[in-house]
Amino acid sequence: MKYRVWDKKEKKWDKTTLISQEGYVVLPDSTCLIHTYWHSNDDITISQYTGLEDMHGKEIYEGDILQTDSSIGSYLVKYNKGFYLELALPNFNKVILNEETNTERLEIIGNIYENPELFGVKNSFLKQMWE
């Protein structure tokens, strides 16, 4: 499994992070000191790699915001016993995201931690219906 860690204090991704089998997260800091956190620490958020890539070959992680060329809005990658895409509209079916998903039309436009404003509805008519 592959992960990335969002450091809530520094507001940045840490890709050099190691996660032990016991669930400990090891973060080296700028002074090369090693800090170990339990995965439920309030200072970090762990995002798991889906095993898929978007149309540009960029790895798709939990928390990424995706769009398609024909999308009425953006999709948020979530995980609950499997990865799925959640549309930014209530009462819409979730789209399962797995190795059989065609990702040729999916593009990562940001993530929920750095760009929460990108998770929304493009179509103004639909937007008015749910506001």
| Same domain membership, residue 100 and residue 68 | yes
Please give the model's pTM, rounded to 2 decimal places. Answer: 0.76
Expressed as residue numbers, the domain containing 37 is: 3-44
- Comparing C-alpha atoms, which of 92, 102, 99 is closest to residue 68? 102
| Same domain membership, residue 59 and residue 23 | no
Output the tens digit of pLDDT for each of the chain's 131 residues: 788 888 888 888 876 566 666 666 666 555 555 555 444 457 778 888 999 999 999 999 999 999 887 666 788 999 988 998 888 766 677 888 888 888 998 999 999 999 988 887 654 544 444 44
What confidence score (pLDDT) does residue 51 get? 93
| Same domain membership, residue 66 and residue 120 | yes
Length of the chain: 131
| Same domain membership, residue 97 and residue 75 | yes
> What's the domain count of the chain?
2
Residue 76 CB contacts under 8 Å (≥ 6 apart), including other chains: 63, 64, 65, 66, 85, 86, 88, 112, 119
| Same domain membership, residue 104 and residue 54 | yes
| Same domain membership, residue 39 and residue 21 | yes
The CATH number assigned to the domain holding 110 equals 2.30.30.290
